[in-house]
Structure 1
């Protein structure tokens, strides 16, 4: 029997396809049924190739499992955005009396109703993916695959039935799973694999970590009415623009999320029924270390993710991986091609690849075209847009201000910026003090090429997507500022930008 710890992170459903045999050969076998793997398999099948998808979900430490579609669909983007939307709706309901609505003082939220509806929607997506695979004659094999040699995978299903599968090409798209800190009592905590299917409301919650996963979860929990704290060891949103990250955190604090800064947990202990006693150490201003304890109902670890590759047998066939992250290392000429030419990797499992669903989907499609349709087009991993769905959303494309200065030098960088007030916040008195946008530009030929776009405000994802297209085309500040804005919108604030950081002028809210 395969130990549970070896069945690492391959999103899947519960039943194997009856169309597969005990031994079969394919043009392509995709290991992992997330967004990237599904996109790659369907694209390959469209070229008439014989394709199989292997997919298996290891239950989390709390027993959570899910269906076909991977992290994004089941325990990531989709449920996160729906719960974020629920929290935003609650905030607006409570503020809407100034818009003329008669809102009772005792407005409440029902956790089980939200979770039930979210997970019913996810199950409909799981079913849809299975139907798509069947329609394209792709064999879906709900089994855990390990390489026995470079062209052979041993697949074992939940009943311990085993089959031997060979292929000309393999794509590893197994994604990753949350990691736990190395402290006593972690079995008492949960991760983002569990939060969306909790049977009972989370109650008073401690979120350990300061990644986008941590802040997004803490944000919607606060918005849904739960007493929520975030434990930050060093900085928030590492890898993002830090001046923007501070605004995101400041808004969350204003809305009621507590931040425990310069702090790290050291121990979790059971404390009565449905309670956890957390011990942590905090570094004080004088650099002394102070120990604290507090009781919470739920502790959610969001301290990073590890690629689910270590039990696939890849090392034995010569596929190189990063020893720390488990991510597979691609070649300089083709980032998706591993050190074994007929084995490729896409998505979160690939070293240097942004951990974003649209990136995995596009790279998977392009890979299938190169393998089976004679294409030479490579995935462009530059200027990839993304949005952090915190209570005040943060969208960005390109370089942070810090990275731009490091890459180009401070004298060649110009930053245009402004605070603004969304009109939809005006009457409702929703806090707008963190609403802000900036363009990071490189001086070139008497113009300013935009290399970084940053927007903090409502609907940041919708705003950012359009500007990402223009940045891919190499737009300059001069071209952008020549556009006419749509009034009254938040997006128009970007084309109105005219104050530079270098000037020292006040970038506060102003009129037309």
Structure 2
């Protein structure tokens, strides 16, 4: 209780200091006082916060400007960016809720007696997730305060290459002079512009995790990682979830693995509408949403479909948050197709003292850890403490679908394209996790694949895994891949028995051989 009181007192202090700092930083005039910083970061997400804290720790005078524009539905949140508020953190917690549902299904066969029907309460989960996210918002405020980073809850833009303007919700303006500027504003979900009713009646991942009431029967449009993760967790807690796919799932990922992921989801109850394009969303008097779409069966055959849903979730990609930053006017080049900021290998834009990191930068993985690492390395370079650049090769990632998919390195398709099909060797295996045996769960989608350069020492080019705790498995192997792992080294590594990860050390059958890749026995 004493610790709780101290935490509350500290929070009140942070709130007071933040308010006092804001009032001291501005004047009643529309152009507030001018401040001098070594670094101003626009964007308070994972990358921007990591960069600002690192720079401050190295003795730089740093300010952060962060402002959350509410979603089309009106959802807003606190400091921390997409990952903390509407991305990785709430998604993984809700994914865990879905996994617990599966575990309860298995429990009886392991001897547990669970009396009565089991049901899930959305509001309890949502409140718990939102409370945790709010604690992270508070934690980020405290960390900035501890590092003496000046925080402005304002929307930032560039007046010139050394001047940043901040404007808060009340129209109060603050101007900061700075040596260097880092843009880390990230991106926001995209709405389709050709579908009537899409923005008016639909939601995105910016809204899902902050809903007070259950989304109910949900139509998820598009089958990229965010869409599949959302559909999977909704189905996992017992909701009716459908996924509408225009062409392929998990574009950019290994397509054999993508088919295993969607195959498992279909087997667990998620509906997939393949080759379908939404055409309209209309709200009925009942409050339900009527969705119409076109099913493209062939070049000559198209069928019009419709169904009613409680929610429609758009997951058709993200757009960079560059509007209003005044970037072209100060010489910062944007990519003509994506709208992202064009950067060099050192994160520098076309203006020498302006940098961009994270999702807003062209050609960078849209992943939190890469933004964090890039931000820290950039801060060290700007402080004159290092020359190390961010290495974006062989970055591991995981899709938190009901059957998780983790990977690092090249997909099989990318390896074929780069090296030629005859110059790569693909080792693979279908395995059954031990925890699936007594529960009699379907393991037909549990699979490992190692893509190697066929010549010489057979360097591992890509490693792919579908199964329980895929992220935990791939994280360790990612270190080896970055160190130049070869197939011989992988084969000679002793596995930990009985684990799913050990299947990667036992893998020995090639696709080229045509032999059955099903693992039998221990």
TM-score using structure 2 length: 0.93
In 2, Cα distance between equivalents of 1:56 and 1:476: 46
Worse overlay, 169-178 or 364-373? 364-373
Contact kept, 8 Å, 2:84 with 2:133, in 1: the verdict is yes
Deviation at 1:169, TM superposition (A): 0.2
Q: Residue 195 of structure 1 aligns with which residue?
A: 208
Contact kept, 8 Å, 1:279 with 1:294, in 2: the verdict is yes
Deviation at 1:335, TM superposition (A): 4.2
1:83 matched to 2:83? The reply is: no
> Mapping of 1:489-508 within 5 angstroms?
489-508=499-518
Cα 1:17–1:369 shift into 2, 3 Å: farther
Give deviations 1:136-172, integer Å, cap 9, x for gaps. Answer: 1100000001112221122111111111111110000
Contact kept, 8 Å, 1:347 with 1:360, in 2: the verdict is yes
In 2, Cα distance between equivalents of 1:407 and 1:461: 26
Q: Residue 74 of structure 1 aligns with which residue?
A: 85
In 1, Cα distance between equivalents of 2:204 and 2:299: 33
Q: Residue 424 of structure 2 aligns with which residue?
A: 413
Q: Residue 162 of structure 1 aligns with which residue?
A: 173
SS at match of 1:193: helix
> Mapping of 1:371-382 within 5 angstroms?
371-382=382-393
Give deviations 1:362-413, integer Å, cap 9, x for gaps. Answer: 0000001111134110000000000000000000000000000100011110
In 2, Cα distance between equivalents of 1:143 and 1:458: 42
Contact kept, 8 Å, 2:70 with 2:76, in 1: the verdict is yes
Q: Residue 318 of structure 1 aligns with which residue?
A: 331
Contact kept, 8 Å, 2:346 with 2:378, in 1: the verdict is no
Deviation at 1:14, TM superposition (A): 13
1:386 matched to 2:397? The reply is: yes
Q: Residue 10 of structure 1 aligns with which residue?
A: none
Deviation at 1:271, TM superposition (A): 1.1
In 2, Cα distance between equivalents of 1:202 and 1:477: 46
SS at match of 1:470: helix
In 2, Cα distance between equivalents of 1:232 and 1:79: 24
Tell me, which stretches of 5 or more residues in structure 1 are unaligned? 1-12
Worse overlay, 156-165 or 52-61? 156-165
Q: Residue 269 of structure 1 aligns with which residue?
A: 282
More helix by share: 2
Give deviations 1:262-292, integer Å, cap 9, x for gaps. Answer: 0010000001233100010011157411111
Contact kept, 8 Å, 2:447 with 2:466, in 1: the verdict is yes
Deviation at 1:104, TM superposition (A): 3.6
> Mapping of 1:63-462 within 5 angstroms?
63-104=74-115, 106-182=117-193, 183-186=195-198, 187-285=200-298, 287-331=300-344, 334-445=345-456, 447-462=457-472
Q: Residue 9 of structure 2 aligns with which residue?
A: none
In 2, Cα distance between equivalents of 1:211 and 1:15: 42
In 1, Cα distance between equivalents of 2:147 and 2:381: 19
In 2, Cα distance between equivalents of 1:97 and 1:90: 12
Deviation at 1:323, TM superposition (A): 2.6
Cα 1:95–1:374 shift into 2, 3 Å: closer
In 1, Cα distance between equivalents of 2:483 and 2:261: 29
Deviation at 1:195, TM superposition (A): 0.3
Contact kept, 8 Å, 2:216 with 2:311, in 1: the verdict is yes
Deviation at 1:511, TM superposition (A): 1.5
Contact kept, 8 Å, 1:94 with 1:103, in 2: the verdict is no
Contact kept, 8 Å, 1:14 with 1:142, in 2: the verdict is no
SS at match of 2:401: coil
Worse overlay, 160-169 or 376-385? 160-169
In 1, Cα distance between equivalents of 2:82 and 2:401: 19
In 2, Cα distance between equivalents of 1:224 and 1:157: 39
Tell me, which stretches of 5 or more residues in structure 2 are unaligned? 1-14, 27-33
Deviation at 1:463, TM superposition (A): 0.2
Cα 1:210–1:335 shift into 2, 3 Å: farther
Contact kept, 8 Å, 1:16 with 1:143, in 2: the verdict is no
